[in-house]
Structure 1
Amino acid sequence: MLKILKKRETALALIILVMVGAFSTRAAGFAAPANLANIFTDTSILIILALGQMTVILTKSIDLSVAANLAFTGMAVAMLDAAFPGLPLILIVLVAIAIGTALGTINGFLVWRLQIPPIVVTLGTLTIYRGMAFVLSGGAWVNAHQMTPTFLNVPRTVFLGLPVLGWTALLIVIAMALVLRHTPFGRATYASGGNPVAAVYAGIDVGKTRFRAFQLSGALAGLCGYLWVSRYAVAYVDIANGFELDSIAACVIGGIAIAGGIGSVLGTVLGALFLGVIKNALPVIGISPFTQMAISGAVIILAVVVNARREQARGRIILRPTKTDVTIKGAAA
């Protein structure tokens, strides 16, 4: 029991519960199930984007272009739907994922093959992708009346008390947990960030792992491009401006080590929900946007300090044991 209580994820979950309870004393109905479902839905896009960011950070990299990827992809699919209203929605979603993956591939290639630092690459592509969105649209907006009802309404459709957008986020959370815990790519991701030199000796291609992490981050950003545009019923160049910082903040608050190799899917989800609760609650109780920014910044700095102290105490994850390793150890005993 003490071991569970000491876990970062448990502590963060308890903090979120305390926050919800405290805010409910100032805003009636804040802790109501319907409102909590709305908060989760509002945070769903951030959760998906942060999971992609988490994968990149685990490999000792960073992706500052995720929000620009989202903006370009969202603009592209909104214009596609407006120009060809007869296209099936599933095709539009696949196009969004394909565009996002292509943009992530560019980042991954520059980092892997040209050995350019990830922060430099993605800072550059952040500007490029935003510029591409402007060139594609000519600076014009795509509004709700130009989009088809199916394009707009499917993510908002309520199923078992939760919109499809929320169910999409839940499915991606489960999928990411399975990928990172039970696949060679997941183990390589942790190893590449935990100790790249040891990972190479273990037979892991660190460069290719980072390349694939950027591709995955791009694919999720592309999906978020469609989800964002359909949820808010508008596409313009500056959508999700600054959202890349929110995705990084969610990871840091959730215990993902900026130095790579440490963190969990659950922690990232809780980090995103932490931000979601704050952003939904502070305006309700009359806190100004500037104070909200200060509170969020203070929380991020505190999370970085906590992460650094935890890394010193625990050390780094190099390779997670597999079932084969356990079997071999049992046979040797």
Structure 2
Amino acid sequence: MSTTLTKSPGAPSATGKARRNRSLVDLVLRARELSIAAALAVLVIGTAVVNPRFLSEQGVKDIFLNASILALLAVGQTLVVVTRNIDLSVGSVVGLVAFVVGDVVSGTDRGLLPALAVGIGIGALCGVVNGLLISFLRVPALVVTLGMLYVIQGVDYYVAHGEQINAANVPQSILDLGNGGVLGVPYLPLITVVVMLAVGYYLRSYSSGREFYAIGSNPEAARLAGVPIRRRVFTAYLVSGVLAGLAGVLWLARFGTVVADNASGWELKVVSAVVVGGVAITGGVGTVYGAALGALLITTIGSALVVLKINAFWQDAITGLLLLLAISVDRVLALRVTRALKKRSRHHG
């Protein structure tokens, strides 16, 4: 005799609960990103009222050009941070790649493709070293990437020997990438947007992409569910390294003249952009779109301070304040989401 188990009409399925929980988290993320966009709009409008030249065609173009490299690095950093890790080596990778690539192509007829190959190759190598040490040897990410930062800086200074790369010696095809555009839109922001959309689509639409969030949300539960944690963490660092290598080539293309300490200190600026953009430093929450918005906000603050003739040193103070505020907001939102989920669970239990 068989027995059929029936579910009462009011009892939600596990899948339904997961979907509702996910929708609540998505709602919080969208609200966070909209608040960043609103703050950015207020900043731009307020600065433009004081100095209308802030919204001139060249002014807007400069903001997007300056933000594009930071946003590109923020996209790679997002992959790392959502897995409860951090990459402090990205700024030094950018500086090393910019100088080495500039040295390789200076005074030659080597074009853009060789430059990209060298730059992305160096970035990928740094990402592989970080990924292997952190994911397979289980060395703390903070220790590995901080050590990598100093190693790369030492190599960069050794290679540079106090010299610099001059824009006059860089092939025109590379300089055109940093200063040209299509239909009036510069290439650099277009490249960043394409990368951002591709990574964002992957994280949201593929099960392997969602596993990055599972690792950050609950590593033990992810392990029990069969998520290949080591492989995903390694991939995150590899992508971060590749994008840092690409950013180094774009740095050379944008500025032309390069010295050994380019992008020094940018690792903290990248982390700030990611956290301000709504990516929780504790992992599991955030999007590449929010991280890119955070990068744009931080860059716009710097440009606004220049236009308003305020000491640029205040930018660091404001960035630090935004970072503290973002972490505090993350904590408050996390507590509210947890309480809301508990109430829903009790209500439907």
What is the TM-score normalised by the length of structure 1?
0.90
Contact 2:302–2:312, Cα closer than 8 Å, also in 1: no
Aligned partners of 1:258, 1:72: CA distance in 2, in Å? Answer: 27
Which 4+ stretches in 1 moved above 4 angstroms?
A: 3-6
1:96 is the counterpart of 2:119:
yes
5+ residue gaps, structure 1: 317-333
Aligned partners of 2:237, 2:186: CA distance in 1, in Å? Answer: 28
User: Residue in 2 aligned with 1:245?
Assistant: 268
User: Residue in 1 aligned with 2:278?
Assistant: 255
User: Residue in 1 aligned with 2:59?
Assistant: 35
1:113 is the counterpart of 2:136:
yes
Contact 1:5–1:11, Cα closer than 8 Å, also in 2: no
1:170 is the counterpart of 2:193:
yes
Contact 1:252–1:300, Cα closer than 8 Å, also in 2: yes
Provide Cα deviations, 1:102-152, integer angstroms capped at 9, x if missing partner: 111101111012211000000000000111112222232111122111122
User: Residue in 2 aligned with 1:74?
Assistant: 98
Written as runs of structure 1 = structure 2, the 5 A alignment for 1:164-313 is 164-313=187-336
Mean Cα deviation higher: 131-140 or 207-216:
131-140
Q: Residue 133 of structure 1: which of 145, 156, 163 is its match?
A: 156
Aligned partners of 1:312, 1:299: CA distance in 2, in Å? Answer: 20
Aligned residues: 313
Return the index of the structure with the highest Cα Rg. Answer: 2
Decide whether aligned partners of structure 1 residues 199 and 142 sit closer, same or farther in structure 2, where only a CA change above 3 A counts: same
User: Residue in 2 aligned with 1:44?
Assistant: 68
% identical aligned pairs: 35
Decide whether aligned partners of structure 1 residues 220 and 27 sit closer, same or farther in structure 2, where only a CA change above 3 A counts: same
Contact 2:177–2:254, Cα closer than 8 Å, also in 1: no
Contact 2:77–2:270, Cα closer than 8 Å, also in 1: yes
SS of match in other structure, 2:53: coil
Contact 1:4–1:10, Cα closer than 8 Å, also in 2: no
User: Residue in 1 aligned with 2:145?
Assistant: 122
Aligned partners of 2:121, 2:204: CA distance in 1, in Å? Answer: 25
User: Residue in 1 aligned with 2:36?
Assistant: 12
